[in-house]
Amino acid sequence: MDFMVFQYPMITVQACLDGILLGILFALIAYGMALQWGVMNIINIAQGDLVILGGYIAYFMYLYGIHPAWGVIVSPIIMYFVGVGIYKLVINKVVDRDLFISILATFGISILFMQLMNFAFGADVVLANSGYGTTFLFDSAVVLPNSKIFSAFVSIVFAICLVIYMKKSKLGRAIRATAQNARAAKILGVDTEKVYAATFGLNAALCGVAGALISITFTIHPYMGLPYTIRSFMIVIVAGLGNLPGVAMSGMGLGVFEEFADYILGTEFRIGSVFLLLVLILVYRRFKLSRKREYLK
Amino acid sequence: MNKNIILYATILIFGLAAPFIFPAFKVQLSILCVLIVLATTWNIQGGEMGYNTFGNILFYGLGMYLCASVQVGMFFPLAEWTESGGEKTFVHTPSQFFQGMAAGLVVAAVVPTIVAGLIGYAILGLRGHYFAICTLGLGVAAGEISGGIEIIGAGQGFTTPPFPNVGGLEARGEFFYFLSFGALVLTFIAVRAIYSTRFRLILNAIRDNEDKAEAMGIETMKYKIIGWMISAFFCGLAGGIMGGLVGYIDSTDVAFDGREMGVFMVLMAILGGKGTLWGPIIGATVFHIFKEGFWTFFLGWQYVALGVLIVVIVIYFPEGIMGWLREKYPERFGEVVDEADRKAQVELK
């Protein structure tokens, strides 16, 4: 297993393509995290659980005989209201407080969601079968399920729509203004409370889209949320806030890294290597900054 | 001072007598001791130093695995033990068990301390939420990786040596109770000792403004690392004891259980009031009583209740029980209060 990657170049191609398609999905989730981080200065540990919840919505549509691809439309609409609900119940009480308080509060939400999903949907690994078939490339040496291509395509479409929306619409402008300076925005008549709620809702909706796509392409499980949170956090800190091409690039990079880690180290170390990579990236940046006597904060 | 001695003596006597007064709750009391140790040591980082870590679970889990590995590995081949599920093929004699446990606990305390010292320079340079998320990642990574290592049981877990058949049925509970109570007393004495020195003031200075502390000529990094090593020492010890008490080690559900124990220690310290000596102790006691008392009513819904509990505590009681008491009775905490000023403040509210 260990040296397959070097002996069979096609495996490398396979891993790269898989990784890039997967990474586009990660980038979509990370974009949501960057959005709310930039606007509200909150790191949402429950991000991954919102993704999984969105996935279960698509999965349930599949169970009731609707094609799961429609989940891409339905799931963000439901998730938007879930997001606004979470904001109204919890997040608006921790927005201006110490960052650790918000991390801990969203950690609590994460545990809550994880367990509620475990009760509602059971602890099995599930998958919504889209029936899209597969594409074979290079004499069948590289196998790409069409659902992965579909999901990457849909993520790109959603990302572009969101960018245009943020640039052109009134709410988008209000969100950007609040991100730059919440107080100034308030003085100029922006209802920041509403903007925060909408931002959190938008983030949840993005998670819903990503979750629906993940339920089609990969598998979902109630406890699989935290790795998605960590991945999106990692992508955001590598790319920086508000750097969209950077988010896309580092998302794809992470996807490729994961596929290779999967091939080289074995599947049991896949999640572990993601978490370890986060630690390494943070430590690397800490040493880089400390030469200038600065620090990550 | 005199009052304090009476208080400590009462607690000590009660602690020593507890397993005989409540023989049915010996295991619960031992777990309580371990929880208090964890909350108190978390408080060194989270409360005094202002570095909110989710990563102390790393040392706890490390100590758990190390203690059990040493206890087995001293006398039997470790790989065969974990493969066969342990107790069926190899049996520890009483003296082997106790010798192994003693050596295991020493290793379980010392190695995490060294690990904390080694990674401390890298990790403690991060601040704020970067530190929190980094330590969270560290804990989960340790759990995932140890779940893939064959020699310590990988995914199927690691059965710790069963307690030898000496001293009747009650002996096991009493042994682990006194072990964990001893760890608690040791932790309390150590923490109280360091809190009464300049060290605590330095930690508080780091919490309040690290840049200024550095400008004052304090080598902040050195003290941060020492603080973390002290935490790691007692976390490892607590982990080693807990491993023997539970009797079974699983990588993500028992040892590196970031979702349960890793959050518990933060929650207990916050519930009691961080940045105080007694806060984590009170917090852990209240939390444990609540958890054991009400867990059975939420049968199956424990984690839902836990999630709600975290959110409620964090939003509504971020100052904890000690903080609330301090606001209510500031005189007891040695604060001089101007009566007129206080009345004016009450009226303002």
- Reading the block at residue B275, the tokens are 């940045």
Integer Cα distance of B203 and B213 in angstroms: 9
CB contact under 8 A, B309 and A271: no
CB contact under 8 A, A103 and B125: no
Q: Which domains does chain A have, with CATH numbers?
A: 4-290 (1.10.3470)
Nearest CA in chain B to A297: B127
Distance from CA of A278 to the nearest CA of B (A): 7
CB contact under 8 A, A268 and B148: yes
First-to-last alpha carbon distance for chain A, in angstroms, is 41
Please report the pLDDT score of residue A6 as a whole number.
61
Tell me the per-residue pLDDT of B307-346, one tens digit each, with 9 for 90 and over. 888 888 888 887 888 888 887 777 776 666 666 666 766 6
Size (chain B), residues: 349
Lowest mean pLDDT among A110-119, A260-269, B162-171: B162-171
Q: Which domains does chain B have, with CATH numbers?
A: 25-318 (1.10.3470)
Window 108-147 of A, Cβ < 8 Å to B: 108-116, 118-119
* Beta-bridge partner residues of A143: A136
Residue A240 near chain B (CB below 8 Å): no
* Residues A256/A277, Cβ–Cβ less than 8 Å: no
Distance from CA of A138 to the nearest CA of B (A): 34
Cβ-Cβ contacts under 8 Å between A and B: the total is: 136
Averaged over A72-77, what is the pLDDT? Answer: 87
Give the closest of A99, A108, A118 to B128, CB-based. Answer: A99
Lowest mean pLDDT among A195-199, A267-271, B226-230: A267-271
Integer Cα distance of A216 and A193 in angstroms: 35
The chain-wide mean pLDDT, for chain B, equals: 82
Nearest to A170 by CA among A194, A187, A205: A194
Please report the pLDDT score of residue B233 as a whole number.
92
Angle at B311 between CA B306 and CA B315, to 5 degrees: 150
Lowest mean pLDDT among A194-198, B78-82, B137-141, B266-270: B78-82
- % pLDDT > 90, chain A: 3
Lowest mean pLDDT among A88-92, A137-141, B239-243: A137-141
Residue A100 near chain B (CB below 8 Å): yes
Residue B125 near chain A (CB below 8 Å): yes
Nearest CA in chain B to A273: B141
Integer Cα distance of B196 and B76 in angstroms: 45
Please report the pLDDT score of residue B50 as a whole number.
84
CB contact under 8 A, A100 and B300: no
Averaged over A50-55, what is the pLDDT? Answer: 90
Please report the pLDDT score of residue A7 as a whole number.
64
A296: chain B residues, CB-CB within 8 Å: 126-128, 130
Integer Cα distance of A128 and A62 in angstroms: 6
* Residues B125/A286, Cβ–Cβ less than 8 Å: yes
Integer Cα distance of B187 and B207 in angstroms: 22
Integer Cα distance of B167 and B127 in angstroms: 51
Please report the pLDDT score of residue B88 as a whole number.
60
What does DSSP say about strands B248-249 and A134-137: parallel, antiparallel, or unpaired? Answer: unpaired
B140: chain A residues, CB-CB within 8 Å: 226, 230, 271-272, 275
**pLDDT above 60 (res B145):** yes
* Residues B295/B72, Cβ–Cβ less than 8 Å: no
- % pLDDT > 70, chain A: 93
Tell me the per-residue pLDDT of B181-234, one tens digit each, with 9 for 90 and over. 999 999 999 998 888 888 888 988 988 888 888 888 888 888 999 999 999 999
Distance from CA of A83 to the nearest CA of B (A): 16
pTM of the full structure: 0.85
Averaged over A243-248, what is the pLDDT? Answer: 82
Q: What is the ipTM of this complex?
A: 0.82
Please report the pLDDT score of residue B236 as a whole number.
92
Integer Cα distance of A15 and B292 in angstroms: 48
Lowest mean pLDDT among A167-171, A248-252, B289-293: B289-293
Please report the pLDDT score of residue B169 as a whole number.
67
Q: What is the DSSP string of B199-243?
A: HHHHHHHHHH-HHHHHHTT--HHHHHHHHHHHHHHHHHHHHHHHH
Amino acid at B270: I
Burial of A217 (0-12, 13-18, 19+ CB in 10 A): buried
B138: chain A residues, CB-CB within 8 Å: 275, 279
Averaged over B60-89, what is the pLDDT? Answer: 77
Please report the pLDDT score of residue B335 as a whole number.
65
Burial of A171 (0-12, 13-18, 19+ CB in 10 A): middle
Integer Cα distance of A176 and B280 in angstroms: 42
Higher pLDDT, B85 or B137: B137
Contact partners, residue B327, CB within 8 Å, separation at least 6: B319
CB contact under 8 A, B307 and A115: yes
Please report the pLDDT score of residue B146 as a whole number.
83
Residue A99 near chain B (CB below 8 Å): yes
Residue B305 near chain A (CB below 8 Å): no
Higher pLDDT, B310 or A137: B310
Size (chain A), residues: 297
Q: What single-letter DSSP state applies at residue A268?
A: G
Averaged over A190-204, what is the pLDDT? Answer: 88
Residue B1: pLDDT band with limits 50, 70, 90: low
Nearest to B184 by CA among B238, B122, B110, B106: B238
**pLDDT above 90 (res B113):** yes
**pLDDT above 80 (res B349):** no
